[in-house]
């Protein structure tokens, strides 16, 4: 049992232990990319098979590891090869409640290559070569070469052969950030700001637009951000947009975190608080330091298992989007429409004018794969409507929904995005089937993404929903992220309002991290540098 662990850490632990044992025993090897991005591969000549079998049971570096032999079949382009065996090695870990096991899915696989004269042959398909010269220059390469799951900034290196140091065309080489919008609806200062804003001129509000459930804080953000840390280690930075608020558990000084206030985001519009997610979303592309490619998430959206950048972007930069079967209806937007439907209808009007097609479908509640340049294009063409949306302090029937719908259709119709599929679960917290669906999610962990949505719940149902989430989320995502504060610190801060915590954090941050100076460092395009020497064949 461990207090914290991630799939990437287990990938490294298993591969490092195997290569250390081989090096200590003087057995030559080379690492290569496994077809399964969550597993690593080590190739060894077949005449060392017996020695390796003994080694994995006795090497000090592998003490406590689980070992098993599995049969694998050669690739389709290797018809003359018979099925062969692969040795899997892994160190299983679990959380303190034994609810999550990180085990064989992250194993290091030892495969045995045959040699005929001056040629070695792989026993199964891999991403680079089926056969190669027996003699090759040994090198060390960055771990990112060995799995698309490993971020390019990762500084681990492993031994391989020079002819395997190739960059695959389907590897994403550009930085990707994540952006959240968040509010703590129980914060007294925020409630006062909201009350003052409701007394101002913003037209007739739909009941959903100001419903208290829209601003409910049940710590979903904490677990959503945990899911990014565990399942998307390739993200560069996380930007959190708030109305001058800070979660009690978040360390804003962590280098991966930048908190952006409404005062910064709406500086040219008076810097006032906004209570309209459409308005806030219309300004995301103005965040300083944000990468061109980014994921936008609501705090009720979670990654369900380890994913690749290519789940959201093609390696050439084209974004993916995920259509929902749900529709927003025909006709023009009306004040009585639910805000999401009204915004969809407004989006449709502009898509019809610009491209001559009619849209009807919503998007799934997933992370939205966005590009800043496309949002700038939309703002340049629809400047009056984008500005009007940004100025509506509560949801309005004339709003646009840019990152959750308009961007996707605009990008698609300008050849900058394509529709795609994703394994997805949507659960309405107020629906009677939700407890059973959460139990299935917990048992199977079979979805790429899931959304636990609450649009307009009866306030009397909120305590039961809180209990349901308080049981489910810590069991699904038990391992804290490094940007979470220690529990004893969190306990001390919980009695303080989120606005108070924000002000105090501003005072303690170094000058370089304070508002208007939120640029993120840019990583190099590649870490695939050849380093030194290693024992390989």
Q: Which residues of 387-416 are buried (b: 16+ CB within 10 A; e: fewer)?
A: ebbbbbbbbbbebbbbbbbbbbbbbbeeeb
Q: What is the pLDDT of residue 530?
A: 35
d(CA 478, CA 304): 13
In this prediction, residues 236-243 reach a mean pLDDT of 99
Q: With 50 as the cut, is the pLDDT of residue 379 above it? A: yes
From residue 342, alpha-carbon distances to 144, 370, 395, 410, 483 in Å are 44, 22, 10, 18, 37
Which two tokens mark 205? 């509000």
Half-sphere exposure of 424 (CA within 13 A, CB side): 17
Q: Among the residues of 70-203, which ranges form H helices?
A: 188-198
Set out the domains of the chain in order of their start, with CATH numbers: 7-164 (3.30.460), 176-495 (3.90.550.10)
Q: What is the pLDDT of residue 454?
A: 82
Dihedral of CA atoms 439, 444, 449, 451 in degrees, nearest 10, equals -10
pTM, entire model: 0.91
Across all residues in the chain, what is the average pLDDT? 91
What DSSP assignment string belongs to 28-43?
--EEEE-SSTTSEEEE
Q: What is the pLDDT of residue 73?
A: 79
Compute the chain's Rg from CA coordinates.
26
Better-predicted residue by pLDDT, 75 or 150:
150
Q: What is the pLDDT of residue 350?
A: 98
Give tens-digit pLDDT for 5-35.
Answer: 999 999 999 999 999 999 999 999 999 999 9
Q: How many CB atoms lie within 10 A of CB 460?
A: 7
User: Dmax of the chain from CA atoms?
Assistant: 85
Look at 58-62, 204-208, 314-318, 459-463 and tell me which has the smallest mean pLDDT.
204-208
Give tens-digit pLDDT for 66-101.
Answer: 999 999 877 666 677 778 899 999 999 999 998 999
pLDDT over 70 percentage in the chain: 90
Which two tokens mark 439? 């139990």
Instruction: Write down the number of H helices and E strands in the chain.
Output: 14, 23
When pLDDT is cut at 50, 70 and 90, the band that residue 509 belongs to is low
């Amino acid at each position: 049992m461990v207090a914290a662990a991630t799939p990437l850490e287990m990938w490294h632990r298993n591969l490092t232990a195997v290569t250390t044992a081989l090096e200590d025993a003087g057995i030559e090897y080379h690492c290569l990319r496994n077809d399964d991005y969550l597993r690593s591969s080590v190739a060894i000549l077949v005449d060392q098979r017996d020695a390796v079998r003994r080694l994995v049971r006795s090497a000090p570096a592998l003490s406590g590891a689980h070992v098993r032999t599995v049969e694998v079949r050669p690739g389709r382009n290797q018809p003359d090869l018979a099925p062969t065996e692969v040795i899997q090695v892994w160190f299983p870990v679990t959380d303190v409640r034994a609810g999550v096991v990180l085990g064989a899915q992250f194993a290091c696989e030892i495969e045995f290559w045959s040699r005929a004269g001056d040629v070695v042959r792989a026993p199964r398909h891999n991403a680079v070569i089926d056969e190669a010269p027996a003699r090759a220059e040994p090198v060390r390469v960055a771990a990112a070469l060995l799995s698309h799951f490993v971020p390019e900034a990762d500084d681990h290196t492993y031994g391989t052969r020079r002819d395997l140091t190739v960059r695959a065309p389907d590897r994403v080489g550009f930085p990707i950030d994540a952006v959240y919008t968040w509010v703590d609806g129980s914060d007294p200062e925020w409630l006062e700001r909201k009350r003052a804003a409701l007394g101002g001129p913003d037209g007739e509000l739909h009941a959903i637009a100001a419903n208290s459930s829209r601003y409910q804080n049940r710590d979903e953000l904490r677990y959503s951000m945990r899911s990014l840390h565990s399942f998307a280690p390739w993200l560069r930075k996380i930007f959190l947009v708030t109305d001058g608020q800070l979660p009690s558990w978040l360390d804003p000084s962590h280098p991966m975190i930048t908190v952006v206030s409404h005062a910064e985001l709406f500086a040219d519009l008076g810097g006032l608080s906004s209570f309209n997610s459409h308005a806030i979303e219309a300004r995301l592309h103005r965040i300083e330091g944000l990468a061109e490619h980014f994921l936008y998430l609501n705090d009720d959206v979670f990654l369900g298992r380890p994913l690749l950048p290519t789940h959201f972007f093609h390696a050439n930069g084209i974004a993916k989007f995920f259509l929902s079967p749900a529709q927003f209806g025909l006709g023009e937007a009306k004040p009585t429409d639910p805000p999401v439907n009204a915004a969809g209808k407004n989006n449709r009007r502009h898509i019809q004018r610009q491209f001559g097609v009619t849209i009807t479908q919503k998007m799934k509640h997933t992370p939205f794969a966005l590009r800043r340049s496309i949002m700038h294009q939309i703002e340049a063409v629809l400047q009056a409507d984008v500005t009007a949306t940004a100025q509506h302090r509560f949801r309005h029937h004339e709003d646009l929904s840019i990152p959750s719908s308009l961007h996707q259709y605009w990008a698609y119709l300008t050849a900058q995005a394509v529709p795609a599929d994703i394994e997805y679960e949507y659960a309405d917290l107020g629906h009677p089937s939700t407890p059973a669906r959460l139990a299935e999610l917990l048992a199977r962990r079979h979805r790429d993404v899931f959304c636990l949505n609450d649009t307009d719940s009866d306030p009397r149902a909120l305590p039961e929903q809180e209990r349901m989430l308080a049981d489910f989320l810590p069991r699904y995502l038990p391992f804290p992220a490094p940007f979470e504060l220690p529990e004893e610190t969190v306990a001390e801060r919980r009695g303080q309002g989120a606005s108070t915590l924000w002000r105090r954090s501003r005072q303690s941050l170094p000058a370089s991290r304070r508002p208007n100076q939120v640029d993120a460092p840019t990583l190099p395009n590649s870490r695939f540098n050849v380093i030194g020497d290693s024992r390989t064949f």
